[in-house]
Each structure stands twice: as structure tokens, then as C-alpha cells.
Amino acid sequence: MKSALSLARTSYTQVLKRPTLLPLKSLGYRGLHHQPALKDSSCNANNSPTSSNPPLSFPCIDKMESRTLELDSGPEPSYDNIVTGYEKFEYPHPFLLDHGGILPKIDIAYETWGTLNAKKDNAILIHTGLSASSHARSHAKNTKPGWWESFIGPSAHIDTNKFFVICTNALGGCYGSTGPSSIDPADGERYATRFPIITVFDMIRAQFKLLDHLGIDKLHASVGSSMGGMQSIAAAKLFPDRVKRLISISACARSHPYSIALRHTQRQVLMADPNWNKGFYYKGIPPHVGMKLAREIATISYRSGPEWELRFGRKRSNENQSPALCPDFLIETYLDHQGERFCLQYDPNSLLYISKAMDMFDMSRSESEKLQRQRQHNLPKIEQILKHRQQLERPDEEDARIMAEACRSIIGTQSALEGKQEEKNMSAKPAEDKKNRLTTLSSDPATQDLVEGMKGINMPTLVLGVQSDILFPVWQQKEIAECLRASGNNRVTYYELDAMFGHDTFLIDRVSVGGAIKGHLELLDDESV
Amino acid sequence: MKSALSLARTSYTQVLKRPTLLPLKSLGYRGLHHQPALKDSSCNANNSPTSSNPPLSFPCIDKMESRTLELDSGPEPSYDNIVTGYEKFEYPHPFLLDHGGILPKIDIAYETWGTLNAKKDNAILIHTGLSASSHARSHAKNTKPGWWESFIGPSAHIDTNKFFVICTNALGGCYGSTGPSSIDPADGERYATRFPIITVFDMIRAQFKLLDHLGIDKLHASVGSSMGGMQSIAAAKLFPDRVKRLISISACARSHPYSIALRHTQRQVLMADPNWNKGFYYKGIPPHVGMKLAREIATISYRSGPEWELRFGRKRSNENQSPALCPDFLIETYLDHQGERFCLQYDPNSLLYISKAMDMFDMSRSESEKLQRQRQHNLPKIEQILKHRQQLERPDEEDARIMAEACRSIIGTQSALEGKQEEKNMSAKPAEDKKNRLTTLSSDPATQDLVEGMKGINMPTLVLGVQSDILFPVWQQKEIAECLRASGNNRVTYYELDAMFGHDTFLIDRVSVGGAIKGHLELLDDESV
């Protein structure tokens, strides 16, 4: 049962259920403006007693209403129960974010497969898509299949006989890592939309705190698809000396407006659900309707026309039923089902924050510099916090460690900043030779800015795109590859697949996607030069 | 001010405005689970007094809430005022629909430009897209620019010095033609979702009643884009002897699942708005939030990535503002604006019914035959209605005319049906010669079914598609052209444009789209053979 607050949040249910509980007549639908039936009421002969034709029914609306009622009387949905068996790394220090927010502490949920070797140089970090957990593959503590189950394992494409594979739940997520549904230590309440804006770079900094904790200095590879592909590139940029190989699948170097538009509509439908309540729904009914709708839109952006043409064509869910405004064609019941399956499986606020982080992702030099300036501006806040703490407590060993950590955090940022400054000096000279190497790349300032921003990513890189992807179209994959080449990386491999599964191909096409990954991970060092 | 009923429908507003009117504290947000601040509250130093970071603001939610409040106290929105200056054709007889519904009478709003010649053979019928009115071009009675303003006029692409141009508001619409917002004569109330399901073929039958009324036996051309292109093909199929030339732009011969999915999500977000109230919102607050969201999704399907890349890129609406979950990038404020502009301009129920008619559009022979069987099955209803009327009233001249019309309607259907039967007999023979003519067309049964369904459309035809269109992709345009050719039409012209405006190119690209139309309309008769 919910708290008293939830009662105030049931209005949506009440509105929805009105037509069911109260017949239209008793609502005064006819009563208010009722007029004597006109001559043409003879058309009524075979229909309902009041209208020319019978009213349509809306089982899809009734179903949403039932779920609202169930949620009102059922237990609070917990995302912790959805994914289990992960490890949790607790970083107990203030964590500065790119846009000025500070998390007092962060948790990162992670799972591993395979064994870290003595040299600690066989680790592969897998970055996930928007809503995925750290459960990329099954293991003893959680035997459910993972989201990349068949790609990872002994002798699989990501071979756990050779590699120590790590996957985390992204910062901002809800499957064990700190996110909007976590408790704000400041007042013991969930963050909700008091959670600060995060970036893909913030996610990477959090992951590398975990790598520090595991004693891993250098990754054999950073691997990711979709948002994970953005993260993979971001990791190579922030920590170029700690990433030996880079794989980015169906991602981009900067989000383009069409993909922003697709995510924008998902956020808007979610936020328009009254139960979202500006993010403060944790004690009430979750915005399951908004989440369902958001997932349906997302599914359209994840799949492709040709696949659905083959899979669903124009089949209807029940050929004998009259056409309806509720789901009717098989493609509609499929989308409906996708939405329903997801609507209580993922924290709505996590969706908003992480989807926004994807929109903001931009490897351009100007954007990186802006974020660096912001970090510099906000660093004193961390010092202030630590000083404040010292005033509250006796300085002891624990506090010293905090201070040390804070310094390390500051130094890490400074060195990245120095790297930027160096680039700035370089680009002050006319870069004629670079321009000559741009092939299909545009020479407009925005592209040049991106080329400059990709500098320093010089490890062997695999970029893979899918021709039927509308969310991260192949021209964006080509852009990654060409910008890397133009910025000086001469070890870039670019594959374009003609698979028909759209953006989701990376989850499905074991042979083509898995094969490319394996090939790149297992290249001999001298082959990859 | 609204009726008493509207009070019961304000719950959405109440939910939305709660966060504004009642601060979270007074809602018990902290009160219920308040715990003493933990050690880490030191992170609070520079932030709000209760949380680690300040809460985000949501001006986009506040704005929707304000509109709800305004609508609650303002006058009922009327779609009649949005478009004015049209003529209205009243067909005062029962009108049988493909899926068995019967409209006691129908109105068709229309506008004309140019002059009908003495032979009455220079008429061009323009079919609109989903939500357009009959106002394709300005004229004395309505001087506002129309939706195809620059395409129609003296010496324009559709030359009113030569042609008599007619445009109608589609059956099911809200700009003067009978639709869900019209009054059901049976009880004097608006139809709402007591309106029966309609098809594109029903729209055509209604338009041809208008042509009968105008004394136009044969059109010089049937011209349409998007849904109008479907209608254009449907007109040529239902009335092959009354259409001399056919133009179909950015349409299809049958809706594919990806386009159904895009329309499905629009319908779902609209229907999920509590103010939609299963379609009975006319006396309450209209579902402006659902309409806004539906339009934003539609806009994504109407435009293209390359266009937005050039037009918006990654520009933000205010570069100095912190990133926000409400519209932030310029593409988001653009979508937001498109949604707001539309949300009170078009009847939500019209959107549902017409969008559904588009989903169902399928020129396949099996589908046509199914609809014909349904019509035959339902025809007795019309007779029953008329008999019932005779029993109620003295048989007079008026009733006789009704009877005659009903017969004519029946005969019209029968002849179409006979045509079908003839085709059936033809296709019973092995059609080896036809198969040989299929070039890039698939030989699967669904495609063969479509080829069979396109038979009889033998007039000179122009099919035009745009490569950046994701809603009606070029493969669907190619499908129309090739199915027509395979079904025996040897006068099919197929143009594929590389324009970057996506589906909306037909509204924008005067030179390429307008030029193709003009060329086809003004071909000499002997050139078009």
C-alpha cells in the first residue's frame, strides 16, 4: 500500500476510469444538451439506442486504467529487484559533474566475467546502451541471460578465456549505480529531479574510479554500442593512455538533431504523464503510461522498416475483428507489448537524465573546452565542501584520504585540460596538411571542430555502423571514422553492415557484429599498427 | 465558460498544477519520510537547504498547465472558425461506409479556383494530406494563403487559366466536412467516438457525390500528396472511367508497418491524455497536451535528418542557459512550437479516424474484395433504413429521391464488384506474361496480390517520391509504379527526388514537385499514350 501522498496522485486513474464506472448517460453526456431526435434517427434502426452508430470501445485505455489501479494498491515498484547479483563499488567522496552538480558519494554496480591476469592488462570494459544493466551475461549469482549473452563467454566473440570482462550500470541508471532513484544523503530522500544533470564524460569518470579500485591501469579495450559507443569514444578521449583499443558500434561523435528529436518526444510524453509529477513519483503511482508511450517511440527508433515489413507486414492481431483505434495491426500490438514490458522495469527519471546526456554528447573541441572551463570554475566547490567537513569533524586519517582523493580528482582534470591547451596551440597554426587528408568530410567549421576534438585518440579503433539504423545513421559512423583519421589516427577500421535490424542490430546479429568485435580484440599488436 | 461536465475533467490540470500551487514540502514530500540529515549534508554548502543539488525547473510543464487553465475558463475551441470561406455540399441521404457504419447524411466542404468549361472536362480534383482543409489557395472569400498557395493559380503549376481546380476537406475532417466533431442527427450530440470507422475509399465516394452534384462526369486529373496520393490512386481504382490522369506524390499503394507504427504512437499519446476522455471532450477541456505530443511525433516523421542537420545542427535555444530536461536544443523548441501551433487547430478525433484510415489503406486485390463483401453484406441496412423512414412518413417525392439515390449507391457498388469478379476470372489463368514483366518487384504472394489489385488503373500516371522521406519511403513509390506497370499500365512516369525536406517536400519544393505536376497535367493527349 502507498503512503497518503499516493491518494493525491490517483486523479489520472479517476479520469480514466470515469467512462467505465459511470456510463456516459449518467455523466450527463446526453442530458446536458439533449435534443429531440431528428428525422434521420431512422438510421438508428440496427444500432445503439442513442446514436447513428455504436460507440467504439477502447480496451487499450481500460487496460492502462487497470494497471493504474493495481499500482495504487500494490507495493512500490523496486528496480533493485529487477537486476540482482552484481557487485557494488562505493566511492565515498564528493564527485564533481561536468555541469556543476556534485554527488556527495557514488555507487557503481558492476559484473565481471573471466579472470584478471597477473599483469592486469587483459581487462575489457563494456559500456551499455541507455537503459541496460551491468548484466551483460549470466553467471552464478544471476543465471538469467544477459543483454549480450551470446557475445561474451569462453571462446565467444568477447572471449572470457582470454579476457577479464567488466560491465557497469551507468551513472544515472537505476540498477545499482547512483541515479535519480538513489537516496540523497543530504536529507535521506530520493534525489528525483534534484539529481544534477550528468554527461557521458561523467559516466566515464565514474567507471574509471572503479578501474582504479580494481587496480586496472590500462584496458585492453573499451567496447560499446549505442550510448555505449559514445562512452567508448569518451573513455579514449579522457584517458587516452588507459585505453589500448577502441570499439564503437552504432554510436556517434556528436548527437544530431534528428536523434535529439526522437529522444525529445520520449521525454515529453513521459513528463506529460500527470503521475510523473515533476519527477517526484517514488511514493505514488509511477508514470507507467508515459513510460509505455516513451518505449513505443523508442522502439520505432531502434528497429527498421524492412525488418517490420518482413516480420509483420500488414497482418492484423485478429483478422476477424472490426478495425479499431486501439492496437489493431500486429505491429501495433508488438509496440504495445514492448511498451508494457518496459514501463515498470526502468526508472523514468533515469530515462530522462541519461537520454539528455546522450543529446548533449559532442566530441567537438569547443564543447570539450567549455566543459573543462566549467569544471575549473566548479572545482573550488569541492574544496569548500571538504573544508566544511573538516570544520565539522576532527581531521583524522579518513578525512585526509578524502582530501587526497579530491586532489587526485582535481589533478586528473587539470591534466586533461593541459592536453586541451596543447591542442589549442597546435591548431593555431594553419593545418594545411590535415585539410588535405579530409576525404568525404565537409570542411565546414563544425566538422573541423569535431576533428580537433577527436585528437589524441590514436589507439587501434573499430567503428561499425548499420545501414538501416535511423537513430545513429551510417553517416554518423562514417563521421567518427573520418574525423579520427583526419585528426591523425591511422589505425581506424570502418565496417558498414547491411543488416535489417536497424539500431538494435548490435543486440541481434552475432555473426556480423560479434565477428567484427572478435577480430578487433584479438588482433596481434603488430597487426594493429 | 464550460458546462458543469468540464469541472469533472480538470483533474489533469489539478495534478499538473499541484507542484506549483503546493510546494513539495506541504505535500509531505519531506515530511513523510524525513530523516535527520546525514554526515554528507556538508555537500549542501552552496546549494538548496534540503538537497545536495538544487531541483531542476520545468517551464514546459508549467506552460501546459497554464494552457489547461486558460482552456478551462475560455470559450470552447471551434474548428469552424479556423478555416472559412468554403462552399458546403450537403448530401442528405444515408451514406454506407466500407466497414458497415452508416452516416445519415454527409456534408463535404470544398473550394474551387478557375472556371469549369462548357464541356466540363477541365476539372482537377486535389486530395489533401491528413489534417489539411479545402483551402489549398487564397481567394476572395478567404484571402489567407492556402497550403498549396504557390502551386495553384493563373499560369502556376496547376494553371487556373486552363483548369477548374477543386479541393475538398476529407470526410472525417473538421473543416466543414462531416467528421467526429459533427452533430449526429440521431440525437443532436456530436458524434465523438460514436463516429464509425472510415476508409480512404469512403472519402473518395463522398468526393464523387460532390462531382455528381457539380455535373462533372470525368476529371482531367486526380492529384494528391501523402494521404492525398492514396486517395488519388483509390479514385482511379473506384472510378477508372472518371479519371483521365493520375498523380500520386509521396504516397503508397498500401501502408507499411513502419508508417503504421509512427501513426500508432501519435494516436496512443493522444488517447492517453485524460482530457481525451474516450473521445467525449467537446464540452470539456480538449486534449491539447496529447495533440501537442502527437504533432511533435508527426513532425519527426514529416521532415528529415539532413534538413535538420543544416537548419538546427546542435544549436541550443539559449547557449547561456544550463542544460535542462525541458526543450533546450533548438530542434526541441522547434518541435515544441510545431506542437503548440497545432494542438488547438485540428479536431483530435479527426486525427484518430483519418490516421486510422491511412493505416488501413491497401490496394491489394484481397483487401478490396473483402471490403466489397462487407459492403454487399451491409447494403440491406440502407434499404431497412429507408423502409423504416417510409413507415414513419408518407411516401413523397423527397423519399423517392432518397430511394433512388440508395439504389444508385447500390448499383455503383455492384458494378465495381462485377469488375472484381472479372479480374478474378482473369487471374485464374496462369499469368505467365505478367510475371515476365515484373522487374525489381518481388514475386511473393503479397506483391502479386497488390499487382492484381492495381488492375484497371490504366490512365497516364505520375508517381513521385522523395529519397529523404521516412514515412512514405521511395521504395513505396517504386512499388506503386512497378505494380501499375505489372498490372498492365504502360503510361507510368516515375520520378525520384533527392530533396532533403523528407515527406513534406511536396509542400515546399515548388520547382521539382510543381514542375513534375505541370508537365504531367499539360501533356498533350497523344504524348501521354
A469 in catalytic set: yes
Span A166-175, average pLDDT? 98
B269: Cα separation from own chain's centroid? 17
| A45 or B312, which is more confident | B312
Q: Would you call B79 helix, strand, or coil by DSSP?
A: coil
What CATH number should be reported for the domain whose range is A87-254+362-521? 3.40.50.1820
Residue with cell 553517416: A475
Lowest mean pLDDT among A58-72, A434-448, B184-198: A434-448
**pLDDT tens, position by position, B362-409:** 999 999 999 999 999 999 988 888 888 777 765 454 544 454 344 334
Residue A396: its pLDDT value, please?
A: 52
Cα distance from B166 to chain A (closest Cα, Å)?
Answer: 29
| Distance (Å) from the alpha carbon of A528 to chain B's nearest alpha carbon | 34
List the catalytic residues of B: 226, 469, 503
Mean of pLDDT values over A404-423:
38
Give the rounded percent of residues in chain B with a pLDDT score beyond 90: 74
For A139, which DSSP code? Answer: B
| B186–A50 C-beta distance less than 8 A | yes
pLDDT band at A161 (very low <50, low <70, confident <90, very high): very high
Give the architecture (CATH level 2) of A259-360. Orthogonal Bundle (1.10)
Average pLDDT over residues A130-142: 97
Flag if B360 and A323 touch (Cβ within 8 Å). Answer: yes
Close Cβ partners of B431 (under 8 Å, ≥ 6 residues apart): none
CB A248 within 8 A of CB A462: yes
What is the pLDDT at residue A527?
A: 60
Q: Give chain A's mean pLDDT.
A: 84
**Chain A interface test: which of B255, B268, B271, B478 (most A C-beta within 10 Å):** B268
Chain B residue numbers touching A96 (CB-CB < 8 A): none
- Chain B residues within 8 A of A277 when measuring between CB atoms: 15, 18-19
Over residues B484-490, mean pLDDT: 96
To the nearest whole Å, the CA of A499 is away from the closest chain B CA by: 17
Distance in angstroms (rounded) separating the CA atoms of residues A527 and A523: 6
pLDDT above 90 for A270: yes
Q: Where are the domains of chain B?
A: 1-25+60-75+257-360, 87-254+432-521
Q: How far is CA A303 from CA A163, A228, A229, B257, B467, in A?
A: 31, 18, 18, 11, 19
Residues making up chain B, counted from first to last: 529
The closest CB to that of B277, out of A19, A94, A329, belongs to A19
Q: Given B12, B293, B384, which is nearest A269 (Cβ)?
A: B293
Where would I find the H helices in B347-496? 348-360, 365-392, 397-428, 432-437, 445-453, 474-486
Burial class of residue A240, CB neighbours in 10 A (0-12, 13-18, 19+)? middle
**CATH number 1.10.1740.110 given to B1-25+60-75+257-360:** yes
Paired sense of beta strands A123-127 and A87-91, if any: unpaired
Contacts of A362 in chain B (CB under 8 A): 314
In tens, the pLDDT along B103-145 reads 999 999 999 999 999 999 999 999 999 999 999 999 999 999 9
Considering the candidates A226, A255, A259, A409, report the single residue annotated as catalytic.
A226
The stretch B33-47 carries a mean pLDDT of 37
Collect all residues of chain A within an 8 Å Cβ-Cβ radius of residue B262: 300
Using a CB-CB cut-off of 8 Å, the residues of chain B touching A43 are 94, 102-104, 185-186, 385
Whether the predicted pLDDT of A362 surpasses 70 = yes
Alpha carbon distances (Å) from A189 to A186, A281, B65: 8, 12, 27
Q: What percent of chain A has pLDDT over 90?
A: 74
Confidence of residue A48 (pLDDT cuts 50, 70, 90): very low
Are the C-beta atoms of B79 and B346 separated by less than 8 Å? yes
Per-residue pLDDT at A423 exceeds 80? no
pLDDT in tens, A439-475: 557 778 999 999 999 999 999 999 999 999 999 999 9
Chain A residues close to B500, C-beta within 8 Å: none
**Architecture label for domain B87-254+432-521:** 3-Layer(aba) Sandwich (3.40)
- Select the residue of B44, B325, B331 nearest A261 (Cβ to Cβ): B331
Supply the pLDDT for residue B477.
96
Per-residue cell: B275: 482530457
Give the nearest partner residue to B283 out of A32, A60, A314, using CB atoms: A32
B157 — pLDDT class (breaks 50, 70, 90): very high
Distance (Å) from the alpha carbon of B525 to chain A's nearest alpha carbon? 38
Taking contacts as CB-CB distances below 8 angstroms, the residues of chain A near B11 are 11-12, 14-15, 274
Q: How far is A138 from chain B (nearest CA, A)?
A: 33
Quick check: is A264 catalytic? no
- For residue A389, what pLDDT is reported? 78
Which pLDDT band, with edges at 50, 70 and 90, does B524 fall under? Answer: confident
> Length of chain A in residues, anyone?
529
The predicted pLDDT at position A387 comes to 83
Cβ atoms of A213 and A199 closer than 8 Å: no
* DSSP-derived secondary structure letter, B167: E
Are the CB atoms for B16 and A277 separated by under 8 Å?
no
pLDDT at B351 over 70: yes
Q: Are A190 and A286 in contact (CB under 8 A)?
A: no
Q: How far is A280 from chain B (nearest CA, A)?
A: 8
A325·B356 Cβ contact <8 A: yes
Phi-psi region of B47 (alpha: psi -120 to 50; beta: other; left: phi over 0): beta
> How far from B324 is each of A103, A203, B329, B518, CA to CA, in Å?
18, 18, 9, 48
Does residue B486 sit in helix, strand or coil? helix
Quick: pLDDT tens for A465-518: 999 999 999 999 999 999 999 999 999 999 999 999 999 999 999 889 999 999
Within 8 A of A299 by CB-CB distance, chain B residues are 261
Residue pointed to by grid coordinates 563544425: A446
Chain B hits for A189, Cβ within 8 Å: 29-30, 33-35, 51
CB-CB under 8 Å, B61 with A329: no
Q: From the candidates B12, B13, B40, B99, which should be mutated to test the interface with A, based on the most A CB atoms within 10 A?
A: B40
**Signed CA dihedral, B72, B75, B80, B85: sign only:** negative
pLDDT for residue A27: 28
Tell me which residue of B343, B416, B458 sits closest to B82, measured CA to CA.
Answer: B343
Confidence bin at A33 (pLDDT 50/70/90)? very low
Q: Is 70 exceeded by the pLDDT of residue A400?
A: no
Q: What is the mean pLDDT of residues B432-441?
A: 43
- Determine the Cα–Cα distance for residues B269 and A270; give it in Å rounded to an integer: 10
Which of A3, A30, A278 is facing B61, going by the closest CB pair?
A278
Which one from A107, A503, A504, A520 is the annotated catalytic residue? A503
What is the average pLDDT across B19-43?
32
pLDDT, mean over chain B: 84
Among B251, B245, B295, B248, smallest CA distance to B269 is for: B295
Of A105, A274, A323, the CB nearest to B40: A105
Residue B423 has pLDDT above 70, yes or no: no
Q: What is the pLDDT of residue B81?
A: 82
Residue contact A261–B385, C-beta within 8 A = no
The vertex-B197 CA angle with B192 and B202, nearest 5°, equals 120
Cα of A230 to nearest chain B Cα, Å: 16
Report the candidate in A524, A505, A412 with the shortest Cα–Cα distance to residue A464.
A505
Cβ–Cβ below 8 Å for B102 and A193: no
| pLDDT at residue B248 greater than cutoff 70 | yes
Q: Average pLDDT, stretch B453-461?
A: 97
Partner-chain contact B332 A261, CB within 8 Å: yes
Instruction: Give me the residue from B42, B188, B325 closest to A33, CB to CB.
Output: B188
Band of pLDDT at residue A234, cut at 50, 70 and 90: very high
DSSP state letters, B364-393: -HHHHHHHHHHHHHHHHHHHHHHHHHHHHS
What confidence tier does B43 reach under pLDDT thresholds 50, 70, 90? Answer: very low
